[in-house]
């Protein structure tokens, strides 16, 4: 069921993103007087198609990993003399720039609308209150303490752990000090703390900003009571059942669910006795956690058991909601911040500050899309907005075969006063195909490594 949901989620996400992207090209092309021959969502043989009164074929194809808008163009086939004025290559350079740029701009517009909807409806976040600080860590050296609420990072106000993480990740590569403002419980004024860092999060895969700082978010205490057991996993083989309260592992008393998880994770492949309380009786069950590999190559124990969610106290929950007009400004700010963050992440990856293994392909996108769909509409829409921004940024990169490569040619044409030669464009096309193909293979490789 999880696999089916992941596939359906990624089809919905990619379908929306591709449709909006290609519609941007289509809409501006029509306004510039260009004849559109085909608007296709997906590649390959059409599963469905129809023509409108303008002669444009709208199609949904079998492979939902892209799409295209095919326009009348003398470089791609003969054009009747009476229709040359409607050919893309006969439009002036500024019209061609507008048509090509419209695709990525449509993706940014989709993200803007998604964020606007979230801000109008309202999003519920967790207040960024520190639960614990690791002794000797940068957070401890900077004076952060348990119970404090983080209010700003590097001068930027934050209201949730998501915003804290985004600001910390945007500082990748920093050396010296990170500025974190925090206020004590009951205080209205925050104090600035300077946290010493060196080559902050450089080549960390994946980046773990809070753990690297030595900060553990506050969480409500979760009792060590099993809610669900996965079939075929060690928990089921040991006889654990829903409703069992874990009392001890290998003779060590268990305080809460987090403690139980820690005791399991440090014992991959090791047989231990687990004491549980069931219906007022105490039972001892033999449990052998299965070894599960992490991305860093280490192994942790895994038993296939889950815990029931615990409600957060109201004082640790925060609803972010704006009036429609104010939400538009907030959505524009969020879209701009995420766009700049994505461009900056690509730059840092090129200079070696971020590991290329952070690249994600269709497998990871499907998994995250499925997880966000299961987490609720709010998470799914937020993921859709971020992915739309990523697609827009990717297409603006100055790589031939991408929209950004065509824009580069047209900008050169504006400067030189004449188009880039067909020969130069053909060479650029081969280079662009090689680069994009390499990126796709790398992303797929790292996807498979995450699975294994």
**Buried/exposed 169-197: b ≥16 CB within 10 Å, e otherwise:** bbbbbbeeebebbbeeeeeeebeebebeb
Q: Where are the alpha helices (DSSP H) in 223-323?
A: 234-238, 257-265
């700049």: which residue's tokens?
A: 340
Angle among Cα 368, 66, 446 to the nearest 5 degrees reads 45
User: 178: closest CA among 205, 212, 147, 204?
Assistant: 212
Q: What is the DSSP letter of 256?
A: S
User: 21: closest CA among 135, 118, 123, 101?
Assistant: 101
Q: Phi and psi (nearest 5°) for 412?
A: -60, -40
Report the distance separating Cα 370 and Cα 10, nearest Å: 7
Q: What angle, rounded to 10 degrees, do the helices at 377-396 and 93-121 form?
A: 160
DSSP string, 298-363: -EEEE--EEE---PPPGGGEEEE---HHHHHHHHHHHHHHHHHHHHHHHHHHHTTSS-GGG---HH
Report the distance separating Cα 64 and Cα 48, nearest Å: 13
- Catalytic site includes residue 22: yes
Both tokens of residue 167?
A: 């600001």
Report the distance separating Cα 99 and Cα 374, nearest Å: 37
Report the distance separating Cα 133 and Cα 135, nearest Å: 6
Q: Phi and psi (nearest 5°) for 48?
A: -155, 140
Sign of CA dihedral 265, 266, 269, 270: negative
Most distant pair of Cα atoms in the chain: their distance: 90
Angle among Cα 414, 417, 423 to the nearest 5 degrees reads 90
User: 180: closest CA among 193, 165, 171?
Assistant: 193
Q: Characterise 40 by phi-psi region: left (phi > 0), alpha (psi -120 to 50), beta (else).
A: beta
User: 301: closest CA among 274, 347, 266?
Assistant: 266
Q: What is the DSSP letter of 77?
A: S
- Dihedral (C-alpha) 105, 108, 114, 115: value to the nearest 10 degrees? -140
Residues assigned a catalytic role:
22
């Amino acid at each position: 069921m999880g696999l089916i949901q992941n596939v359906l989620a990624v089809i919905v996400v990619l379908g929306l993103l591709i449709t909006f992207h290609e519609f941007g090209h289509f809409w501006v092309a029509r306004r510039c007087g260009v004849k559109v021959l085909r608007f296709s969502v997906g590649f390959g043989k059409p599963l469905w198609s129809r023509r409108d009164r303008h002669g444009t074929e709208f199609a949904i194809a079998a492979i939902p990993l892209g799409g295209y808008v095919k326009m009348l163009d003398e470089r791609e086939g003969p054009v009747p003399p009476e229709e040359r004025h409607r050919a893309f290559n006969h439009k002036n350079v500024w019209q061609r720039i507008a048509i090509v740029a419209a695709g990525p701009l449509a993706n940014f517009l989709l993200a803007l609308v998604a964020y606007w909807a979230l801000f109008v409806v309202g999003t519920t976040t967790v207040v960024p209150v520190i639960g614990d600080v690791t002794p000797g860590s940068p957070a401890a050296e900077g004076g952060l303490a348990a119970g404090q609420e983080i209010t700003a990072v590097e001068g930027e106000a934050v209201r949730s752990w998501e915003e804290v993480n985004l600001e910390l990740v945007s500082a990748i590569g920093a050396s010296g000090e990170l500025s974190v403002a925090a206020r004590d419980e009951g205080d209205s004024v925050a104090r600035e703390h300077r946290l010493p860092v060196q080559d902050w999060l450089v080549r960390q895969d994946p980046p773990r900003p809070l753990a690297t700082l030595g900060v553990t978010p506050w969480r409500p205490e979760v009792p060590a009571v099993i809610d669900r057991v996965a079939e075929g996993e060690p928990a089921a083989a040991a006889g654990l059942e829903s409703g069992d309260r874990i009392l001890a592992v290998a003779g060590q008393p268990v305080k809460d669910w987090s403690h139980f998880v820690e005791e399991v994770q440090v014992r991959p492949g090791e047989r231990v006795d687990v004491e549980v309380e069931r219906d007022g009786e105490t039972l001892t069950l033999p449990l052998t956690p299965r070894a599960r590999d992490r991305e860093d190559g280490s192994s942790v124990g895994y038993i296939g058991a889950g815990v029931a969610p615990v409600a957060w106290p109201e004082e640790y929950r925060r609803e972010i909601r704006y009036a429609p007009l104010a939400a538009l400004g907030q959505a524009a700010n969020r879209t701009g911040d995420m766009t700049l963050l994505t461009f900056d992440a690509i730059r840092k990856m090129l200079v070696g500050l971020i590991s290329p293994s952070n690249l994600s392909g269709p497998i990871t996108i499907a998994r995250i899309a499925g997880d966000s769909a299961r987490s609720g509409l709010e998470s799914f829409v937020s993921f859709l907005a971020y992915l739309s921004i990523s697609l827009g940024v990717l297409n603006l990169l100055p790589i031939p075969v991408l929209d950004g490569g065509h824009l580069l040619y047209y900008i050169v044409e504006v400067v030189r006063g004449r188009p880039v030669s067909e020969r130069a464009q053909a060479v650029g096309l081969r280079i662009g195909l090689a680069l994009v193909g390499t990126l796709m293979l790398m992303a797929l490789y790292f996807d498979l490594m995450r699975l294994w």
